Amino acid sequence: MNQTTRLNQLRTRAARISDLTGTASLLSWDQETLMPRGGTESRAHQLGTLAALIHEHYTNPALGDLLRELRDELGAGNEADETLIVRAMLRQHEQRTKIPSEFVVKRTELSTRAREAWKVARKADDFSQFAPFLTEQFQLARELAGHLGYDSNPYDALLDQFEPGTSFEWIDTRFRTVKPEFQELIRRIAEAQAADGSHAQAARAVHRQVAPKRQLDFSRSMAEAVGFDFSHGRMDSSAHPFTSGPSFLDVRFTTRVQENYFPSCLFAVIHEAGHGMHSQHLRPELYRFPFRYGLALAESQSRFYENIIGRSRAYWNRYYGDMQKTVPEFADVSPETWYRAINAVHPSLIRVEADEVTYGMHIMLRFEIEDAVINGRLKVEDLPGAWNDAMQNYLGVRPESDANGVLQDIHWSQGAIGYFPDYLLGSMLSSQLWDAVQQAIPNATEMVRRGDLGEINRWMADTVQGEGGKFTFAEMAEHATGAEFSSDPYLRYLKEKYSEIYHLA
């Protein structure tokens, strides 16, 4: 059999896995948006069956033989599509062959049931209703780590699932570098706020009632403005914003509405639109290859559009007038007040509504808690108190309810233990990518000011988004920017932006 025949066989096998994965994604999307609560049990079985089929295809010995033959023929050390596709799929094959099919089904069915239990517990503000499901999720996470293998910390195996090549030590080293920088910037901003009451006035100016339809209509227009293609996508509502979809031709994201705080919906939409564009811009020749990019890379795209673009002065120079027409509740709010309000720094309870400066503290808190639970230093039943203590220690605020504390995120209900660090890694990379954009497109800021993101989006599509899961996070940083991944651009971005807003010396 020649190489061309082998590659064609791989495409056929890969397409089956991709189609099954897309079908499971569609059922999961339906569960969050349309499925009645009474459908939970049947949906758990449906997703479990699909998970078993996907696992069966991935672990087929014939696929492993094919991938190893192609690996040996194609070699390494190059960025050719075929080489890196084979590398990524072989990694999946080798990891999945370590995991029993029964375990995959059990974990999938648990996640389906746990998501619904989380929704009920969050609405009731009662952690005890969710605790049994979460206890089992963490137990299965430990078992997964055992199946996959690790050197000293089981959390390493979980982190590597979400962003290949990362580990507790690798992430912790970078987080310990930025933590004192965040703390110092938060301290300096707090001093500036205490000395100048206009900052608090600006922050309060955006807390006003806006009808849900008006919020959703304008937010949708902002997804279009940054480049999301609604001819291949849609926007819906759910308990927690997310992006999914069966393929790059059908990408779906959700948001949620707070009637008295419009930025919550608006920036969730821009964030998810960034995720959606990452999927939509996959090169067609990579379609139906089931190798997903890591989630730190994914978050670099969502955080880039939400913050680097969406919270910039340049962006609102173009769109604030449009917003005032569509959302007349802000007719008396000046563009400068709006800009200061959407970038107001204040320690808060909810991660998805946190400002850029304090956001990292929310992530580090979750990172440390996950490590503690996985390694048995913290029990699930003690999580609410530990969470509240950590919030007090990290940000000086203390949740008064489970809903605003340990129950605020959907991730653990889905078994996504090890995902949270990728939000901060992605935020760091977003600034490094922005530096690279400005190197390639010297008038990029002026383009944002005009509302013309076409060239910026093409650069991002050609350099990052179109490559799918070919590269690891560290490889993509170097591929896209010509430099190793570094937190320095992110720290510089935060210091420059917020020194200007708060007139820091």
Q: Which residue has the tokens 């779906």?
A: 252
CB atoms within 10 A of CB 230: 13
What the block records as the tokens of 456 is: 């910026």
The question of whether 163 is a catalytic residue gets the answer no
> Helices in 149-261 by DSSP H: which ranges?
154-162, 168-195, 198-204, 212-226
**Distance between CA atoms of residues 270 and 267, nearest Å:** 5
SS3 4: helix
Question: By the 8 A CB rule, do 286 and 81 touch?
Answer: yes
Helix, strand, coil abundance in the chain, percent, nearest 5: 70, 5, 25
325 CB-contact burial (10 Å; exposed 0-12 / middle 13-18 / buried 19+) = exposed
| Identified catalytic residue from 116, 163, 272, 299 | 272
Provide DSSP, 352-414.
Answer: GG--HHHHHHHHHHHHHHHHHHHTTSS-GGGHHHHHHHHHHHHHS---SSSTTTTTS-SGGGG
**Distance between CA atoms of residues 439 and 463, nearest Å:** 13
Catalytic (active-site) positions:
272
